[in-house]
Amino acid sequence: TNPNYVNIVEVGPRDGLQNEKAVIPPSLKAELVTRLGRAGLKTIEAGSFVSPKWVPQMAGTPEVLTTMEHLPGNHYPVLVPNMKGLENLFALLANENPPTRTHASLQPAPPLPAAPPLTDEIAIFAAATDAFSKANTNCTVAESLERLAPVAESALKHGLRVRGYVSVVVVCPYTGRVDAAKVKDVSRALLDMGCYEVSLGDTVGAGTPSDIRALLVTLMSGAHAISASKLAAHFHDTYGAGVANVLAALDLGLRTVDAAVGGLGGCPYSPGATGNVSTEDVLYALCGPGSIYETPGDLDALAEIGGWISSTLGRRNESRAGKAILAR
Ligand code: HMG
Ligand code: MG
């Protein structure tokens, strides 16, 4: 495989839509996931099993998972904050088991081609500061890690992959600049629970390439160093440094980037923060002529989707590359 292949984790249907005020029907979200899959993306976050009182917009996730198109080999992770969310996911997965087709008096039917599971992956999420952790999940960082350990253990036992998130890796909206050592501790704890990767969230979107470099150097060196292959970049684009920050992370060896089509989104517990760096902008920067990088996804198709979902939701298309492509 190409060492410069950059996997894209499309978070538009989850991070992008969780903050919308108007209720979005699950059928529209399922269509979004389906279109993103057909545009060639391999990992698409489909929703969250969080409390509907906290994030009403994600309440329809079971319906999204059961109605969207599942492409074989793709991953459709969902966020899970606690055991209750994992139990709800397990209940859904159990209901979806195909009924047995063998009639007592007949030879057993040949096995059906295995249907892809509704999902094979969860994402658990923690933060680098107590203030953000309390706002987002109603508990301190230490309490959240205690709460998440059995979630990861049980998910792994059931054969699911587990991804971890750390929020507010550069700046916390409540307490200001964040100590990189704290980000390292929380990342390490998530990896020790069995997460295959930790995605570093610049939730506020205030980081600069220098911030990202300094953060990654701290994480990737010294005691308990974390290798680049276990880290992903999850940068919101509030100040327009998203693509530059992604490039800084790639320079330091990361090869997984979270992005949202149309630059959708914002975190409900990070006031003023805008959406993730847009998938179209990332692909444009990484896949131009002469680039060493390779990514999944068809840029023109993604630009179409970014334009479609933005106008459907009545919001501005936040992707610079997407708008330029649509204007050609
Ligand atoms: P809590 O209120 O402390 O929970 O919320 P609780 O355990 O006390 O339960 C209260 C009620 O909620 C009970 O119902 C539970 O059954 C129910 P009641 O008895 O009152 O009827 N409940 C649930 N229902 C459905 N699914 C569940 C669930 N859990 C409890 N999973 C909790 C604690 C963690 C649940 C809540 O704070 C929560 O759901 N938080 C999620 C917030 C969220 O989704 N934030 C956005 C995602 S993170 C993000 O965007 C950052 C990221 O993009 C990276 C970055 O950019 O930094 C990943
Ligand atoms: Mg986010």
Tell me what percent of the residues of the chain surpass a pLDDT of 70: 95
Please choose from 9, 15, 51, 277 the residue to mutate so as to test ligand 1's pocket, defined by most ligand atoms within 8 A of CB: 51
Ligand 1: atom nearest CA of 11 is 53
* Mean pLDDT in residue range 212-222: 98
pTM surpassing 0.80? yes
- Where residue 313 falls among pLDDT bands split at 50, 70, 90? very high
Is the separation of the CB atoms in 277 and 291 below 8 Å? no
Question: In this structure, which ligand is nearest to the CA of 79?
Answer: 1
Q: Is the CB of 137 under 6 A from ligand 1?
A: yes
Question: In this structure, which ligand is nearest to the CA of 260?
Answer: 2
Q: Is the CB of 138 under 6 A from ligand 1?
A: yes
Encoded tokens for 212: 């990202």
Q: Is the CB of 85 under 6 A from ligand 1?
A: yes
* Mean pLDDT in residue range 231-250: 98
Give the sign of the dihedral formed by CA 153, CA 69, CA 17, CA 275: positive
Encoded tokens for 202: 């610049």
Q: Three-state DSSP class for 184?
A: helix
Question: In this structure, which ligand is nearest to the CA of 90?
Answer: 1
Q: Is the CB of 284 under 6 A from ligand 1?
A: no
Per-chain mean pLDDT for the chain: 94
Place of tokens 């529209």: 28
Q: Is the CB of 55 under 6 A from ligand 1?
A: yes
What pLDDT, on the 0 to 100 scale, is given for residue 103?
60
Count of Cβ atoms closer than 10 Å to residue 54 Cβ: 15
| Largest interatomic CA distance in the chain | 70
DSSP string, 20-89: -SSPPPHHHHHHHHHHHHHTT-SEE--EE-S-TTT-GGGTTHHHHHHHSPPPTT-B--EE--SHHHHHHH
Euclidean distance between CA atoms 48 and 41, whole angstroms: 19
From 139, 172, 195, 267, the catalytic residue:
267
Euclidean distance between CA atoms 252 and 214, whole angstroms: 10
Q: Is the CB of 267 under 6 A from ligand 1?
A: yes
Euclidean distance between CA atoms 86 and 155, whole angstroms: 8
Q: Which residue has the higher pLDDT, 96 or 11?
A: 11
* Mean pLDDT in residue range 185-194: 98
Euclidean distance between CA atoms 207 and 200, whole angstroms: 12
Is the separation of the CB atoms in 263 and 318 below 8 Å? yes
Is the separation of the CB atoms in 43 and 75 below 8 Å? yes
- Where residue 271 falls among pLDDT bands split at 50, 70, 90? confident
Encoded tokens for 218: 């701290």
172 is catalytic: no
* Mean pLDDT in residue range 294-322: 97
Least confident of 20-24, 82-86, 158-162: 20-24
Per residue in 127-166, pLDDT (tens digit) is 999 999 999 999 999 999 999 999 999 999 999 999 999 9
C-alpha 137 – ligand 1 centre gap (Å): 6
What pLDDT, on the 0 to 100 scale, is given for residue 269?
80
- Where residue 288 falls among pLDDT bands split at 50, 70, 90? confident
DSSP string, 22-40: SPPPHHHHHHHHHHHHHTT
Encoded tokens for 155: 């998910």
* Mean pLDDT in residue range 256-261: 98
Per residue in 206-216, pLDDT (tens digit) is 999 999 999 99
Ligand 1: atom nearest CA of 169 is 57
Nearest CA to ligand 1 atom 3: 138
Q: Which of 40, 81, 46, 9 is nearest to 233 (CA)?
A: 9
Q: Three-state DSSP class for 95?
A: helix
